[in-house]
Amino acid sequence: METKPDINIDRSIGDFHYDVDYEFDAGTGLTEKTIDYICDVKKDPDWIREFRKDALRKFNSMPMPTHWASPDLENIVFDNIRYYLSQGTQPKRSWDDVPEDVKRTFERLGIPEQERKFLAGVEAQFDSEAAYSNIKAAVGEQGVIFVGSTEGLQKHPEIFKKWFGKVIPTGDNKFSALNSAVFSGGSFIYIPPGVKVKHPLQAYFRINAENFGQFERTLIIADEGSEVMYMEGCTAPKFETSTLHSAVVELVALKGAKIQYITVQNWSSNVFNLVTKRGLAHEEAEIKWIDCNIGSRLTMKYPGVVMKGRKARGEVISIALAGDGQHQDTGAKMIHAADETTSNIVSKSISIGNGRATYRGLVQVGRHLKGCKNNTECDALLINTDSRTDTYPAITVRGKENACQHEASVSKISAEQIFYMQQRGIPEGAAMSLAVNGFVNDLVQQFPMEYSVELKRLIDLEMEGSVG
């Protein structure tokens, strides 16, 4: 039996919801008991149980960062959230084995089809756990590990333990502490030395339940000289109440390795999306974050790269689209901790209606370092006069032999410009899409084809939806 999709089905492809029977449910609210429940279900080792409880204490003791961030954070009612929901902790290796009530969601989102067409591996997370996880045989034979975090922890403890929580310490911020307390799902990836994974690995994060918090934890380790591209997509249906998504993603690129991490999120407009993402780049390694934030009520996300080895490179390319009633608070952090490291930040934000986009950047270059370079470019597009945009770049460059360059621009599309486009026969929504696509075009070119098409489609849908 199929439940009728929720409202606004055209507006956002992810906005539908099927009823699902959950075998495991930690109930609402967050206490030590919740953590014990999660640990028991997941059969966590003792050190993880301790790690989680320590994180809970940190989470409880840290204040909400409202002295600098949006006061909207105060509207998250942690006691009303469900922290763990699953049908079991073992993902299936074949779509045929995925329970029907979950499978149809991913089919509708087109995941199995994309997997057949162009992916090296897929993990599909449904609420708290991966329902499906598989890689192409050829990729597995190269020694690539691509599993959920639970499985990574159980089957590859020697690699997992070495890096887990090392790039982003539990107390980095209140939400990394929250994630560390209740994390579940997310990917664990290890690429052996010299292996270049040709096709992307894809994870899809789906929130299905109301009043739910999704706390996936991803850890990617690219060993010396290896290369990998990872992509994540996210959707949730539009519920009456708010939903919380708070992930932690840690990347480790060892000497000469390259990691590209691409996010195309399309959250419905009641999701609080508070994510911590950081990579550690060793000598001559390269970490690139490509981050497209569409939808959500409030997104706070500042992907970072710590360039720890000589000649390491960090890059953040971000596109944030803040529609009516949305706030995209995004940016980048670049920590130069070795000589001759280079970083590049290109951020483009679009605000529509009373949507709001904020850019926060942090670039740090230590005093004793030589030959470091940063380039930061922030462009904002404002569609109609109510929109606002703020930039808070913080660039700390010590030492004379380093170079930083910062450029910012604001362009506006007024009602008058939309009218001009409409006079040529282009409908209002299409006119806005045209302006937005033109604005982000040079960044979208850097995406793999399938994703640029997808992104364009999302922008079109979002623009159609924003026409009053």
Does 385 bind another protein (CB under 8 A)? Our answer is: no
Q: Which residue in the set 141, 158, 240, 416 belongs to the binding site for another protein (CB under 8 A)? A: 416
Does 381 bind another protein (CB under 8 A)? Our answer is: yes
Q: Which residue in the set 428, 450, 460, 464 belongs to the binding site for another protein (CB under 8 A)? A: 428
Identify which range of 27-35, 143-151, 209-217, 431-439 contacts another protein by CB under 8 A: 431-439
Q: Shortest distance, CB of residue 39 to another protein, whole angstroms?
A: 51
> Between 66 and 409, whose beta carbon lies closer to another protein?
409
Does 425 bind another protein (CB under 8 A)? Our answer is: yes
Q: Which residue in the set 43, 97, 422, 457 belongs to the binding site for another protein (CB under 8 A)? A: 422
> Between 396 and 411, whose beta carbon lies closer to another protein?
411
Identify which range of 2-10, 125-133, 295-303, 436-444 contacts another protein by CB under 8 A: 436-444
Q: Which residue in the set 78, 430, 448, 465 belongs to the binding site for another protein (CB under 8 A)? A: 430
> Between 229 and 382, whose beta carbon lies closer to another protein?
382
Identify which range of 26-34, 80-88, 164-172, 424-432 contacts another protein by CB under 8 A: 424-432
First to last CA, the chain: 35
Does 413 bind another protein (CB under 8 A)? Our answer is: yes
Q: Which residue in the set 435, 444, 455, 463 belongs to the binding site for another protein (CB under 8 A)? A: 435
Q: Shortest distance, CB of residue 446 to another protein, whole angstroms?
A: 17
Does 420 bind another protein (CB under 8 A)? Our answer is: yes
Q: Shortest distance, CB of residue 318 to another protein, whole angstroms?
A: 17
Q: Shortest distance, CB of residue 416 to another protein, whole angstroms?
A: 6
Q: Are strands 213-214 and 243-245 parallel, antiparallel or unpaired?
A: parallel
* Residue 22 and residue 129 in contact, taking contact as beta carbons nearer than 8 Å: no
Q: Shortest distance, CB of residue 257 to another protein, whole angstroms?
A: 35
* Residue count, binding to another protein (CB under 8 A): 23
Identify which range of 62-70, 155-163, 333-341, 425-433 contacts another protein by CB under 8 A: 425-433
Identify which range of 153-161, 165-173, 257-265, 428-436 contacts another protein by CB under 8 A: 428-436
Does 426 bind another protein (CB under 8 A)? Our answer is: yes
Q: Shortest distance, CB of residue 420 to another protein, whole angstroms?
A: 4
* Residue 285 and residue 254 in contact, taking contact as beta carbons nearer than 8 Å: yes
Within 13 Å, how many C-alpha atoms sit on residue 8's CB side?
Answer: 17
Does 9 bind another protein (CB under 8 A)? Our answer is: no
Does 419 bind another protein (CB under 8 A)? Our answer is: yes
Q: Which residue in the set 423, 445, 449, 468 belongs to the binding site for another protein (CB under 8 A)? A: 423
Does 407 bind another protein (CB under 8 A)? Our answer is: no
Within 138-197, the residues that bind another protein by CB under 8 A are none
* Residue 319 and residue 335 in contact, taking contact as beta carbons nearer than 8 Å: no
Does 4 bind another protein (CB under 8 A)? Our answer is: no
What SS3 string covers the chain? CCCCCCCCCCCCCCCCCCCCCCCEECCECCCHHHHHHHHHHHCCCHHHHHHHHHHHHHHHHCCCCCCCCCHHHHHCCHHHCECCEECCCCCECCHHHCCHHHHHHHHHCCHHHHHHHHCCEEEEEECCEEEEEEECHHHHHCCCEEEEHHHHHHHCHHHHHHHCCCCCCHHHCHHHHHHHHHCCCCEEEEECCCCECCCCEEEEEECCCCCEEECCEEEEEECCCCEEEEEEEEECCCCCCCEEECCEEEEEECCCCEEEEEEEEEECCCEEEEEEEEEEECCCCEEEEEEEEEECCEEEECCEEEECCCCCEEEEEEEEEECCCCEEEEEEEEEECCCCCEEEEEEEEEEECCCEEEEEEEEEECCCCCCCEEEEEEEEEEECCCCEEEEEEEEEECCCCCEEEEEEEEEEECHHHHHHHHHCCCCHHHHHHHHHHHHHHHHHCCCCHHHHHHHHHHHHHHHHHHCC
Does 438 bind another protein (CB under 8 A)? Our answer is: yes
* Contacts with another protein, residue ranges (CB under 8 A): 381, 411, 413, 415-417, 419-428, 430-431, 434-435, 438-439, 441
